[in-house]
Amino acid sequence: MARLKTIQWTNDCARIVDQTLLPRELAYKDIRTSEEMYEAIKSLRVRGAPAIGVAAAFGLYLGIRTVPNTASAAIFETELRRQADYLVSSRPTAVNLPWAVRRMVRLAESANDAGTGEKKMLLLAEAQKIMEEDRRMCRAIGEFGFELVKDCKAVLTHCNAGGLATTEYGTALAPVYVAHEKGTVIHVYADETRPLLQGARITSFELMAAGIPVTLICDNMAATVMARGMVDAVVVGADRIASNGDTANKIGTYGVALLAKAHGIPFYVLAPSSTFDLSLANGRSIPIEERPAREIICGFGTETAPANVPVFNPAFDVTPHPLITAIVTEAGVLRPPYSETIAKALG
């Protein structure tokens, strides 16, 4: 099955699917500078935790490629760190972003004997490696996740944790894609995901493009779908998972997890190891991005509330670990007690 290429390195630039235009238009945008990458991440042209990690890695290369090859190691390092801090500041919640950027910085700093030109090439190769690893991790998540959902007729998902949120396959949707490849049909109920409608605009778009049955629902319909027995499991991605399993994901995920618990439906989180933040004991210290009021008052150019109404617009929430049935990573399926199983698998 031909998949959409969320990010590619081509023609000496990073080419991304501009997700702000979906589903109206499937258009690509060539990113040639770190400023353009910062803007693309901040405005959600490229979005989803693993995808913004990969994007930031390419962004860092784009930021330092203009440093002359004749520049000293000290000058290169100063610019590398400046660009790294700048890119990391684009979005605060998904840990994949600082994870990828720090990995790039560490690599450059460890290449003591390399000249500036050589370090630049090493960094481009590392960004490509991060992208390739993401593809492999998502595929493995799909295989492990398939074992959990293979008997499900339908699953519910929130936001977009599909191929367009990663290099390929996605995380939450990876088992659905793997099932499709094996000839097993799993129907997906997609929450529309207010306010930016990633479920409506992106999840339903990519599943339809792949020929997978999808039904779109408004966020406030999830309880009804569960009460009527229309879904057998919930699958969601993650932006940051603390060492006790508390999971930050798109705003509304916590509510879906509570609903799943109330209806006795398994709630699965699927994420690569790059989404874990083992420096955090629990989810209380996960930084939660707050986005502009206009996304709620005037989403997609239509005024839906008085222009000056006070607004609270957190982009993510934290699902406490007791609500999570299992966490699927490329290392396998982790079950409670998460403090132990996470440390054992990834520590």
Q: Which residues contact 183 (CB under 8 A, 6 or more apart)?
A: none
Least distance in angstroms from the C-beta of 101 to ligand MRU: 16
Q: Which is nearer to ligand MRU, 8 or 313 (CB)?
A: 313
- Helices 116-149 and 96-110: crossing angle in degrees, nearest 10, is 140
Instruction: Pick the closest to residue 177 from 204, 210, 148 (CA basis).
Output: 210
Q: Which is nearer to ligand MRU, 60 or 196 (CB)?
A: 196
239 is catalytic: yes
Q: Which is nearer to ligand MRU, 64 or 210 (CB)?
A: 210
**Interacting residues toward ligand MRU by CB under 6 A:** 44, 47-50, 94, 159, 161, 165-166, 170-171, 198, 237-239, 249-250, 315
Exactly one of 239, 246, 277, 317 is catalytic; name it: 239
Please tell me the distance from the alpha carbon of residue 184 to that of residue 175, in angstroms, as a whole number: 10
Least distance in angstroms from the C-beta of 271 to ligand MRU: 7
Q: Which is nearer to ligand MRU, 159 or 323 (CB)?
A: 159
Least distance in angstroms from the C-beta of 329 to ligand MRU: 12
- Helices 49-64 and 116-149: crossing angle in degrees, nearest 10, is 170
SS3 assignment, position 14: strand
Q: Are 321 and 247 in contact (CB under 8 A)?
A: yes
Least distance in angstroms from the C-beta of 254 to ligand MRU: 12
Instruction: Pick the closest to residue 52 from 142, 146, 160, 141 (CA basis).
Output: 160
Cβ neighbours around 142 below 10 Å, total: 25
The 8-class DSSP code of residue 323 comes to G
The half-sphere exposure of 313 on its side-chain side, counting CA atoms within 13 A, is 17
Q: Are 163 and 6 in contact (CB under 8 A)?
A: yes
Least distance in angstroms from the C-beta of 121 to ligand MRU: 29
Q: Which is nearer to ligand MRU, 83 or 253 (CB)?
A: 253
Least distance in angstroms from the C-beta of 118 to ligand MRU: 33
Q: Which is nearer to ligand MRU, 115 or 255 (CB)?
A: 255
Please tell me the distance from the alpha carbon of residue 235 to that of residue 9, in angstroms, as a whole number: 30
Q: Are 277 and 347 in contact (CB under 8 A)?
A: no
Q: Are 61 and 127 in contact (CB under 8 A)?
A: yes
Instruction: Give the tokens for residue 309.
Output: 């109404």
Q: Are 91 and 286 in contact (CB under 8 A)?
A: no
> Strands (DSSP E) along 123-213, which ranges?
154-157, 187-191
Q: Which is nearer to ligand MRU, 63 or 163 (CB)?
A: 163
Instruction: Give the tokens for residue 100.
Output: 């990828």
Least distance in angstroms from the C-beta of 166 to ligand MRU: 5
Q: Which residues are known to be catalytic? A: 239
